[in-house]
Amino acid sequence: MRDMTAKLAQVVGEVRSSAESLSSASEEVSATSQSMNQASSEQAASVEETSAFDRADDRLDHAERRDAKVTDGMAVQPRSRRARAKWRVEQTVAAR
From the CB of residue 78, how many other CB atoms can be counted at a distance below 10 Å?
Answer: 13
What region does 78 belong to: left with phi over 0, alpha with psi -120 to 50, or beta? beta
Q: What is the pLDDT of residues 26-80, one digit of tens each?
A: 999 999 999 999 999 999 999 999 998 889 888 888 888 888 887 776 666 656 7
Separate counts of helices (H) and strands (E) for the chain: 2, 0
pTM of structure: 0.47
